[in-house]
A and B are shown apart, each in its own frame.
Chain A
Amino acid sequence: MSGTGFSFTIDGVAVAAEPGQTIMEAADAAGLYIPRLCDHEGLRHQGGCRVCTVKAGGRSVSACTQPAAPDLVVENETPHLNKLRRDLVEMLFHEGNHLCPICEASGNCELQAMAYRLDMTAPTRFPYLQPSRTLDASHPDIALDTNRCISCGRCIRASQDVDRKGVFGYVGRGIHRRVAVNADDLASTDASIEDAAIAAGTCPVGCIIRKRHGFATPIGERIFDKGPIGHDIEDKRRE
């Protein structure tokens, strides 16, 4: 692909890109972190959570789906964008039942880590919806606590595109849109603990729980205890 590459800027830093690359893919390769929740390495991009919203040529776009273009001027780490992102994350905290003190995913949770990164000290500006949601512990190896689901759809894409199963899917519309399993309960599907959809890291929060793995890593030694979310990408730039 040499010769077809071009460059654009993110926050004034020149970034190299290939045709077809999204802004986020080019930024990741260059060691510039753009916050994201619904995007996950190895899965097709969805552009659902809008946490990766950047200003490209002055317009708000989701960096995970917007293709990079030659000489595009992208703003990423600005107070305005980070405030918008913080508001989005805060609304996710209000929409579900996110009780960090009792959650097994605390410390491995991308929603929590994103709140830390975006300086959300406490979510109290909006009313808590406190929805009544189901807990599905029917499967011998997997439990689903949908109180913590943020509807990012990563399990849906992993199950459809990687596992070729379609265990998960969206149901409902608007604020009622939820992730559901394709049967009465999870035990009635062909979901397996080996699935990419169930693998640690696919679910960004503590909704998909691998039974008998809880607290194997103690609080304080978990993924985001070692550094803020995105530090693995940002470290590439420092090297």
Chain B
Amino acid sequence: MNETRKPRVATVSLAGCFGCHMAILDIDERLVGLMQAVEFDRSPLTDLKTFTRRCDIGIIEGGCCNEENVHVLQDFRRNCDVLIALGQCAIMGGLPAMRNAIMQSDAPLRECLEEAYITGAYIRNTTHQIPNDPALPLLLDRVYPCSEVVEIDYQIPGCAPGGDIIFETLSSILAGRFHGFSRDSFKFD
């Protein structure tokens, strides 16, 4: 019954810049061995938009800035045994979270959108409106770290995390022997 199968991995970029996905490529030639050891399911790498099966590991890049991010993250939690937050945005909001604390503003989201689309000095927006197409996901009041939305099992710090720390962490989690990071292996920047 317990036939050996490859661990299944899913990845997604929420409110991130895809830099952490790029950082996965920094694993370099070790990627070949890793690709043989695992099978990718839902991921921008496979272009699968939904889960085909339950996955062992879900890798999340970016925090939650809109309702779609929250739905996708909850879908990952439902379909993955282990969730890994990859990079500072997933861990603590990162750059998008700058909009949470726009100084002295009672409505930082409104102020952010008005500056971006209406009042900014270098804006050429012929509609003079904040985009409001119903197809656009609703923005959240602030940007949330993944761990404030669902339970996160592991976090790999960095912006973006280096190839070595991603490889070491993924390999040791796959082997079931992850015991934290060594002091000189991680950075927040």
Contact = CB atoms under 8 A, between A and B. Distances in A.
Contact of A99 (B95, B148, B187): B95
B102 A132 contact: yes
B17 to A, nearest CB: 10
Nearest to B142: A130
Interface residues of A, number: 28
A124 interface: yes
Interface in A93-124: 97, 99-103, 106-107, 112, 115-117, 119, 121-124
B155 interface: yes
A96 to B, nearest CB: 9
Interface residues of B, number: 32
A81 B142 CA distance: 35
B131 interface: no
Contacts of B148: 127
The listed residue with most A CB atoms (<10 A of its CB), out of B88, B91, B92, B94, is B92
A128 B94 contact: no
Contacts of A122: 85, 91-92, 155, 157
B152 interface: yes
Contacts of A112: 188-189
Interface string B112-139: 0000000000000000000000000000
22 contacts: A97-B100, A99-B88, A99-B95, A100-B188, A100-B189, A101-B159, A112-B188, A115-B188, A116-B184, A117-B183, A121-B180, A122-B85, A124-B91, A124-B147, A124-B152, A130-B97, A130-B100, A130-B142, A132-B102, A132-B105, A133-B103, A147-B103
Interface of B: 85, 88, 91-95, 97-98, 100-105, 108, 142, 145, 147-148, 152, 155, 157, 159, 180-181, 183-184, 186-189
Interface of A: 97, 99-103, 106-107, 112, 115-117, 119, 121-124, 127-128, 130-135, 147, 219, 228
